[in-house]
Amino acid sequence: MNDNVMISVSELKKFFGDVKAVNGISFDVKKGEVFGLLGPNGAGKTTTIKLLLGLLEPNEGTIKIMDLNPEIDEVQIKSRVGYVSEEPLIFKSLTPKDLFNFIASIRKLNPEETSERAQEYLESLGALEYYEQLVATLSHGNKQKIQIISAILHDPDLLILDEPLSGLDAKSVKVVKEILDIHIENGGAVLFSTHIMEIAEDLCDRIAIMNQGRIVGIGSMDDLRQQADQLGANLEDVFLRLTEQDVSVNEIVKKLRKSFSDRN
């Protein structure tokens, strides 16, 4: 297998009862690229990511993360991966301080280096003042910041981020983008999911558009534009077309307008 391939997924399937959350997808993520999973809510992005981390067991298909099988070598994989989950459900009853200490202990990190890093990240994301407050009392965005820092504290080779930018303010989004850039420059790889086209367009080298458990389009921006027959359209249109939502979305928008004007 190619040394450059960080994630390799083939014919992956995961069903929850009748729900085919992931229904036969294949893709690779290479070193030095930001790979985006783009899709509407319920497309199966989170499920895919959980499968990658061995948090769920696939019904069919194979996954290789840095040539390891997440079902078996979960611990090895996680020591080289940083993961930000969708819901910022870090322990609510801990403070970021407790949390970082916990993570450093589990990952057996170097104390000085890690302290320095944590301080740096906290400062640049503007979260230092919350360092000793209970996570439960933080706002959604601040929780998300703490979670992102938790994921990069150990300088991972691969970042897996599930909707990482939701709830962040504009400045923090910029900082996170910066962090991703540095990470890529150092030869890392990123896989992240989002349901917002602009973010994907902005950040990703390659994108897989997911809908109802399947990948309906994959490739760089240009590839995707080609795949859509409307050449020259922006990615939003492509996205809507590929997920076959353009008709229904228009319908909804029309209805919304009407109900609004009726009341006025």
46 or 124, CB closer to Mg ion? 46
Site residues (CB under 8 A) for another protein? 50, 53, 55-57, 71-79, 81-85, 87, 89-91, 93-95, 97-109, 111, 114-115, 118-119, 122, 128-129, 131-134, 137, 147, 150-151
Site residues (CB under 6 A) for ligand ADP? 16, 19, 21, 39, 41-47
Q: And the tokens for 75?
A: 């611990």
In the chain, the amino acid numbered 191 is L
45 or 78, CB closer to Mg ion? 45
Place of tokens 């890529």: 184
Q: Closest approach of Cβ 202 to ligand ADP, in Å?
A: 19
Question: Could you please report the per-residue DSSP string of 115-178?
Answer: HHHHHHHHHHTT-GGGTTS-GGGS-HHHHHHHHHHHHHTT--SEEEEESTTTT--HHHHHHHHH
* Residue 182 touches which member of ligand ADP, Mg ion, another protein, none, C-beta under 5-8 Å by kind: none
> Beta partners for 22?
14
Q: Closest approach of Cβ 194 to Mg ion, in Å?
A: 9
Exposed/middle/buried for residue 16 (C-beta within 10 Å: 0-12, 13-18, 19+): exposed
The CA-atom distances, in angstroms, between 102 and each of 92, 129, 148, 209 are: 14, 19, 15, 36
44 or 70, CB closer to ligand ADP? 44
118 or 200, CB closer to another protein? 118
* Residue 175 touches which member of Mg ion, another protein, ligand ADP, none, C-beta under 5-8 Å by kind: none
Site residues (CB under 5 A) for Mg ion? 45-46, 86
- Residue 37 CA to residue 216 CA, distance in Å, equals 11
> Beta partners for 156?
none
Q: Closest approach of Cβ 55 to ligand ADP, in Å?
A: 10
- Say what angle helices 235-242 and 246-263 make with each other, to 10 degrees: 110
Q: And the tokens for 215?
A: 């990948």
Q: Closest approach of Cβ 141 to Mg ion, in Å?
A: 18
Q: Closest approach of Cβ 46 to ligand ADP, in Å?
A: 3
Q: Closest approach of Cβ 169 to another protein, in Å?
A: 19
15 or 131, CB closer to ligand ADP? 15
